[in-house]
Structure 1
Amino acid sequence: MSLLPRTAEEFSSAEYWEKFFKKRGEKAFEWYGDYNKLCGVLHKYIKMQDKVLVVGCGNSELSEQMYDVGYKHLTNIDISETVVNNMNQRNAERRPGLTFHQVDATKTPYEDASYQAALDKGTLDAMASEEEGALARNMLTEVGRVLSVGGRYVCVTLAQESVIKLAVEHFVQLGWAVRLHCLQEENRTEEDSFALPVFVLVCTKFRQPMPTPILEMCLGEDGAPVRHTHVSELLSAVREHQAYSVLRKRLRTNTDANSNLSLTLCHAKTGLPRYTLTIQDSPPGAKVPRANQFAVFIVPQGSETAWLYSSGEGRRQLAASANFRRLVIVSMHRNQEYTDMQAVQSELSPVVMDLAPPGMPANHQVPFLSVGGDLGWREEVSRGVSQLSGEYCVENVKGEDGELYRRLVFLSNAALVQSESRLVSSNTATSQKRKNKRKAKASAASAAPAASSTSMTVDSGFLCCAHHEVMVACLAMLGVGMPQNKDIPVSVLLVGLGGGGLPQFLRDFMPNVTIEVVELDPVVLEVAKQWFGFQPDDRLTVTLGDGLERICALEKEGGHLFDAIMFDVDNKDSTLGMSCPPAAFVETPILQKVRNLLTPRGLFILNLACRDPALRKSVLERVSGVFPTILSRKIEEEINEVLLCSRGEKETSDATHILPSLNQAAKNLQSALCSSGTEPSRRPHIDIAELLKDLRIV
């Protein structure tokens, strides 16, 4: 719309509005919404018999329409002489009781407490930017003066942050009650609709100021009010509604296969996150059947962190296999109850059409897709707080393979599983009976696990993390399992405990191995022991403290050499493009200390997860500056890669002879693992040769 103000300063200019209305002429200006859109809220807060001061009326038809339905006590004021003259002429015959006056809203001639309501459609927005809001504050002060006790200031606004913050803080300081309605756009053309939604601010005057602010947000004209404690919370809710409206407008006007747009839907009563929706469009030129325009995919509970659903490439593959023009991928949140698939569909159905692709008919039937037709299963077994890492939870989930898994998740990054272990029944026979029952009662299997979590134990022979499997396989380079090495001890220093699955595996299945684990967070150690079957002993010890400090101390003390040093520690700083390890762990001085702590045959094994190509290159340059021989094994469908670094001398650093010899080393280690003294059902589920075949020389 070419007549809209180009800058915020123009909004508050009397000259701008003179020019605007002269150019606009007789056509009413209703870009904040007409009577039909606003009547529900207006009738809710303004009574027919109320004396109403209409502030900055403009040439809007709103006052005329209100007059026609029974509001006979309307006083309309505007700063523009042109608009006042035009409106008086327009209504002289048809509405003789409707008058318009040229009055400055910051200095009105009306008596104190002479009105029961003040109606403002866009005037606050127009004045708020002038003189750092001074004009708007003066207007609001004047409104407060002319309103009687119980009177209401009803303001239709786009709720730009500076504007709504100014108004809300003004009335909160006066002790008034503040409520905001976010009006949803319905049946409006894209050309006429704003990216931002229209809000109605309702501020109620009390005889005595309210000691505690009343701050409420309502969705639509009849939505239940959600109470907020602080002004900042209310402003945050406004921003969320605005962001959703902008997203909806964007989605209804274009498509972008690489955008990865997402939004979170919260529970209306509690305000807690309930669903996260990610929009995945098909690429331009994709051959999509005409009928396959739009679908919704429900991710099973507990599977939302899987690569297929959590990564951009995974979601693109999912969308390609579903073959719809637009796929909305829905993840469910923790601490929320979901009855069944039908209930979820009913809850989401009113929302998803807002996310439809351009040109989608309003009556289009949107199919809901899922894996196996059920919602999955999740059970929280523990929750606590770490002073170092924040709130965490331990939960059991049912995987898409039907097996049960236990996870440690730090809620500051709920999309990332910190540690995961597979659960098995404490009694194999009992487990088999339960499986038979599950087959006989397929409907019950979708809502509950095969066995009660209280009868389950952690399977120490199963490594859920692919990079842990590779780190174990890399120890084949030490000759573990070779007949001539059967009595040679192997010492490992591991920085980073997590749930303890990796060190427990080494302890249980690697012959003659001793492990020292360094863990910074004592809470993580307790969680590992209580919930993940971690059992320290004389061969598996834990040192609580900073991993870097421990490495420095060991080198300074001397006399400590390890056959393998492993870094498996995550980076808490999410602003960097490297989630493993923290940057300090791959600085040259630390890498040199690691090298000094290795035996002549020793290996440095690093779990590296780096999204930034330039940063990854820098890390590799530093590592190669200390370790002449580096092999890399990338983890399929993940950003992780395991670096296997040897401390061999420069002149013998040609690694081309290493890879062929790995095949026999893999067989030796596989044999050693399989001959461990555990019962067959608990033996390792790992293929050493398969894990090592994709090692590449860096």
Structure 2
Amino acid sequence: MEAGTFESLIPSRYVSFTLPTHSLSCPIDYFYTKILQISVLDSPLQPMSSPKIAAMLVPKHRENDWIFATESGHLQLLLGSPGISRLILIGNVPNNDINVGNLYKRSIEMCSIYREKLEGSLYPLLMALLPKEIAQLANFEVPFLSYEDSVISSVVLERCFGSCVGEMLVEDVEIEGSRREFRRRLRFKRMPNLIQTEISIVPCNGIDDTRLNSLCIEEVEFCPELGVLVHPYLAPMVAGLSLIGGYIQECFDSEVRPRGLCIGVGGGALLSFISFQLGFEVVGVEMDDVVLRVAKQYFALQTGNDIQLCLGDGIEILKKVALFDRDSKSSPSVADNVREDHCKDYFELFVSKFLVIMVDLDSGDPKMGISAPALEFLQKDVLLAAKSCLSEQGILVLNVIPSSKSFYGMLILELKEVFVDLHEIDCGNGENFVLIASNTSAALNFGETENAFLRKLKSVISEPLVDSIRKI
């Protein structure tokens, strides 16, 4: 590298290099390799003045994880730390070994005295990586950020590549809790900090807790548990159905099964739940056939009369279906990105309108940070197309991860221009919100409208979620 490489902040610049550990006098028992990986990323969002610099130690034995080993993962870490202009990652050299059977087990957390010694030994390195305007300040200290999650151990089940979403990973993880708890996750390399799908899994073959406590995660065969929703925003999305609970009950009383459309299938947890637990007929739209294969193989997504799948771009399909003459059942021209061999099913699936459309689409752009829905969905013609696919009593349910307050405000305004009513659920994780847009005014009055469907809904999700819905 040229002298002065790091003296200036250059938006979105990413530099990664290696350095021998002996040159830093680091405690060698933390950095178990003799070569360190140093990665420096400047934020795409630079402040006008007073830049802030931070560092992070890559957790031991997780250096191969996409979160730390890729530029997109690094970017998400940086954007998740508001106000940081440059983030410096320091860890062991990754070997990109995220293969089937690859195992991670959390190291014992280092004591504060040892951590201070480790961070102190890195001080000369950090001073050399400061922008010139900061390096000139006396006694400047670079704060160390901590990466924390609930994963105790994990094992990779499959690493594969989809034509639309790129490289993806299926893994089983054990998470912290009062008793041993396991999840199955689907992650995409393009957005490694975002868990695309997470479901609860339980040991197969009736292994009891005593036997389970003697086994490591890689020694256990697991089966999906579809009766619960563990992803933080899925239960709130389902809670939105309470707004039209009376009409859903009328459907069942008339022996007409309510229909739902899910745009964005992922592992299929949402489709499976509202079909098996709540009795809906569900259509799922997914643009990557490898994702659908993974959902069936690892997440127990079962297709048939209750759950049907359509391969294609959900946004483009909505716009095409909006032109569909349901009375004459004449099909418009086929969208370029809808597979020809799915065309017949494609139009047959959309002849009848839906009572609920649930949208779970992330931006797919690491430069935006983790945000949802995709910006393309906010176009007025798309929202109008979604509205045209809903029945008069129907609702549009959106998983929202706001990239900023202005983004969230814009989304609310766009929805209010198209729909009559808008409700919100705060998922309580500091990240996700659920917005429910309706074609007609929906009133929450459970004292008069309690029925079998609402009782069932409250028995399979947290009742306080239903109570937390507010009109905006």
| Structures share fold, TM-score greater than 0.5 | yes
Change (3 A) 1:276 1:476: same
Distance 1:266 1:425 in 2: 28
Matched residues, percent identical?
Answer: 21
- Partner AA of 2:202 in structure 1: V
- Partner AA of 1:381 in structure 2: L
SS of 1:461's equivalent in the other structure is: coil
How much does 1:464 deviate? 1.5
How much does 1:520 deviate? 0.8
How much does 1:463 deviate? 0.9
Does residue 461 of the first structure (1) align with residue 253 of the second (2)? no
Does residue 609 of the first structure (1) align with residue 401 of the second (2)? yes
SS of 1:518's equivalent in the other structure is: strand
Contact 1:605 1:644 in 2 (8 A): yes
Change (3 A) 1:275 1:496: closer
Distance 1:436 1:343 in 2: 26
Contact 1:548 1:590 in 2 (8 A): yes
- Partner AA of 2:461 in structure 1: I
For 1:411, the equivalent position in structure 2 comes to: 189
Distance 2:231 2:264 in 1: 14
* Aligned residue runs from structure 1 range 515-554, under 5 A: 515-554=282-321
Between stretches 496-505 and 561-570, larger displacement belongs to: 561-570
Change (3 A) 1:484 1:593: closer
Distance 2:433 2:105 in 1: 39
CA offsets 1:637-659 (integer angstroms, 9 cap, x no match): 232211111112xxxx5x6xx13
Does residue 390 of the first structure (1) align with residue 166 of the second (2)? yes
Distance 2:198 2:397 in 1: 20
Distance 2:93 2:447 in 1: 44
Residue number among 363, 366, 371 corresponding to 1:574 in the alignment: 366
Residue number among 435, 460, 467 corresponding to 1:643 in the alignment: 435
Change (3 A) 1:694 1:663: farther
Contact 1:419 1:498 in 2 (8 A): yes
CA offsets 1:212-244 (integer angstroms, 9 cap, x no match): xxxxxxxxxxx9689xxxxxxxxxx7xx47x59
Change (3 A) 1:275 1:574: closer
Does residue 159 of the first structure (1) align with residue 17 of the second (2)? no
Change (3 A) 1:180 1:264: closer
Highest CA radius of gyration, 1 or 2? 1
Between stretches 523-532 and 481-490, larger displacement belongs to: 481-490
For 2:211, the equivalent position in structure 1 comes to: 437
CA offsets 1:560-602 (integer angstroms, 9 cap, x no match): 3111111111111233367211111111111112112211111
How much does 1:460 deviate? 0.7
Matched positions, count: 384
CA offsets 1:469-521 (integer angstroms, 9 cap, x no match): 1121211233267478432321111111010000011111113x211111111
For 1:39, the equivalent position in structure 2 comes to: none
Distance 1:629 1:519 in 2: 28
- Partner AA of 2:390 in structure 1: L
Distance 2:361 2:175 in 1: 25
For 1:473, the equivalent position in structure 2 comes to: 239
For 1:424, the equivalent position in structure 2 comes to: 202
For 1:262, the equivalent position in structure 2 comes to: 55
Change (3 A) 1:474 1:181: closer
Distance 2:299 2:220 in 1: 13
For 1:631, the equivalent position in structure 2 comes to: 423
Distance 2:90 2:394 in 1: 46
SS of 1:611's equivalent in the other structure is: coil
- Partner AA of 2:201 in structure 1: L
Change (3 A) 1:338 1:534: closer
Distance 2:430 2:359 in 1: 18
Does residue 399 of the first structure (1) align with residue 175 of the second (2)? yes
SS of 1:431's equivalent in the other structure is: coil
SS of 1:579's equivalent in the other structure is: coil
For 1:377, the equivalent position in structure 2 comes to: 153
CA offsets 1:20-61 (integer angstroms, 9 cap, x no match): xxxxxxxxxxxxxxxxxxxxxxxxxxxxxxxxxxxxxxxxxx
Contact 1:408 1:418 in 2 (8 A): yes
How much does 1:259 deviate? 5.7
Task: Return 5+ residue gaps in structure 2 as ranges.
Answer: 7-17, 27-32, 43-49, 74-78, 83-88, 127-137, 140-145, 327-350
Contact 2:421 2:439 in 1 (8 A): yes
CA offsets 1:239-272 (integer angstroms, 9 cap, x no match): x47x59x9xxxxxxxxx9x96823355999x995
How much does 1:341 deviate? 3.5
Contact 1:274 1:332 in 2 (8 A): no
Distance 2:434 2:195 in 1: 18
Change (3 A) 1:312 1:686: farther
Distance 2:147 2:434 in 1: 36
- Partner AA of 1:463 in structure 2: L
* Aligned residue runs from structure 1 range 655-694, under 5 A: 658-659=443-444, 661-662=445-446, 668-672=452-456, 685-687=460-462, 689-694=463-468
Contact 2:240 2:466 in 1 (8 A): yes
- Partner AA of 1:394 in structure 2: V
* Aligned residue runs from structure 1 range 112-191, under 5 A: 159-161=3-5, 184=23
Contact 1:267 1:273 in 2 (8 A): no
- Higher RCO by CA contacts (8 Å cutoff, separation 6 or greater): 2
CA offsets 1:380-429 (integer angstroms, 9 cap, x no match): 111111122221110000011221100001122221111101002334xx
SS of 2:363's equivalent in the other structure is: coil
Distance 1:464 1:500 in 2: 13
Contact 2:105 2:153 in 1 (8 A): no
Distance 2:67 2:306 in 1: 45
Distance 2:448 2:52 in 1: 47
Change (3 A) 1:452 1:600: same
Distance 1:263 1:531 in 2: 34
How much does 1:553 deviate? 2.1
CA offsets 1:607-652 (integer angstroms, 9 cap, x no match): 121121112211111110010210111110232211111112xxxx
Change (3 A) 1:403 1:183: closer
Does residue 502 of the first structure (1) align with residue 295 of the second (2)? no
Distance 1:545 1:638 in 2: 32
SS of 1:557's equivalent in the other structure is: coil
How much does 1:158 deviate? 7.1
Distance 2:456 2:381 in 1: 36
- Partner AA of 1:382 in structure 2: E
Contact 1:477 1:662 in 2 (8 A): no
* Aligned residue runs from structure 1 range 225-374, under 5 A: 240=38, 243=40, 261-263=54-56, 265=58, 335=98, 341=107, 351-354=118-121
Task: Return 5+ residue gaps in structure 1 as ranges.
Answer: 1-156, 163-178, 188-222, 227-236, 247-255, 278-303, 305-309, 314-327, 360-367, 675-683
